[in-house]
C-alpha cells in the first residue's frame, strides 16, 4: 500500500491506500473500511478486510498502512486487551507507549482505529492517542472525506451502520485509493 507515516513539520502524515471509519450513535458502534490494497499506483487487491472484532467481539479495530505491520499491531493490541480487560483506554495507552518506545515497533507503518461501547481512539507510532469528542473517527487517505460525510449524517435518522456505509461510499467516490468494497463490523448494545 502506498504508505508512510511520521511527523513532518509537527503534523501527523496521512496514509494513502485505505479508508477506515468508526461511528458511535445511540447504542450502536460501527466500524467499516474499504477493500482496496494499493502498491504505488497499482491496485493489487480490491476485497481486503481491514476491520475486525477483537476481545471476544467487545472491541472493534481497523488499520491503515502496511498489512504486515497492522497484523503485528493487532496482535500486540490483543495482548494489551487481555492484560487490561474491559479497559480500552488503558490498553490503548499501553500500546501507544510500547509503539513509541520500542525500536522495532517504532518502525511499523500503520495507524489503528479502535472502539468499544464507551471509547474510540486513533493510535500511531509517533505517540498520538486521540479520542474524538463526537464518537466519529476516520483514518487513511479517504479518512477526511468519510469523517466529513459521517459528521454531516450524524444528526439524521440514519443508523450508525447506514452512516458508515454511506460515508465510505462518498469517500470512495472522491479518493482514488478507496473503493466501494466495504467491510463492516459492529457492536450493538444489549437492551
Q: Using N-to-C axis directions, what is the helix angle for 88-101 and 67-83, rounded to 10°?
A: 130
Asked if 22 and 36 count as a contact pair (C-beta separation under 8 A), the reply is: no
Asked if 3 and 17 count as a contact pair (C-beta separation under 8 A), the reply is: yes
Cα separation, 1 vs 17, in Å, equals 6
**Structure-model confidence comparison of residues 176 and 125, the more confident one:** 176
Q: Which residue has the cell 499491531?
A: 73
* pLDDT value of residue 139: 95
* 43-67 pLDDT, tens digit each: 888 999 999 999 999 999 999 887 7
Cα separation, 172 vs 15, in Å, equals 15
Question: Mean pLDDT of all residues in the chain?
Answer: 87
* pLDDT value of residue 190: 57
SS3 35: coil
* pLDDT value of residue 12: 43
* pLDDT value of residue 154: 97
Domains and their CATH numbers in the chain: 7-186 (3.60.20.10)
The answer, as to whether pTM is greater than 0.95, is: no
Is the pLDDT at 76 greater than 60? The verdict is yes
Is the pLDDT at 21 greater than 70? The verdict is yes
Is the pLDDT at 4 greater than 50? The verdict is no
Hey, which residues does 123 pair with through a beta bridge? 112, 129
Q: Are strands 19-25 and 28-33 parallel, antiparallel or unpaired?
A: antiparallel
18 noted as active-site residue = yes
Amino acid at each position: 500500500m502506498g504508505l508512510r507515516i511520521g511527523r513532518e513539520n509537527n503534523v501527523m502524515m496521512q496514509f494513502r491506500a485505505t479508508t477506515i471509519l468508526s461511528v458511535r450513535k445511540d447504542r450502536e458502534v460501527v466500524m467499516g473500511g474499504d477493500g482496496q490494497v494499493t502498491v504505488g499506483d497499482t491496485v493489487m487487491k480490491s476485497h481486503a478486510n481491514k476491520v475486525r472484532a477483537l476481545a471476544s467481539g467487545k472491541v472493534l479495530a481497523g488499520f491503515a498502512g502496511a498489512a504486515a505491520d497492522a497484523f503485528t499491531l493487532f496482535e500486540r493490541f490483543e495482548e494489551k486487551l487481555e492484560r487490561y480487560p474491559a479497559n480500552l483506554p488503558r490498553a490503548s495507552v499501553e500500546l501507544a507507549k510500547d509503539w513509541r518506545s520500542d525500536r522495532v515497533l517504532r518502525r511499523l507503518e500503520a495507524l489503528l482505529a479502535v472502539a468499544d461501547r464507551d471509547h474510540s481512539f486513533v493510535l500511531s507510532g509517533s505517540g498520538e492517542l486521540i479520542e474524538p469528542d463526537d464518537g466519529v473517527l476516520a483514518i487513511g487517505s479517504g479518512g477526511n472525506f468519510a469523517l466529513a460525510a459521517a459528521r454531516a449524517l450524524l444528526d439524521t435518522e440514519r443508523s450508525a451502520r447506514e452512516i458508515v456505509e454511506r460515508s465510505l461510499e462518498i469517500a470512495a467516490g472522491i479518493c482514488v485509493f478507496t473503493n466501494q468494497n466495504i467491510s463492516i463490523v459492529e457492536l450493538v448494545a444489549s437492551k
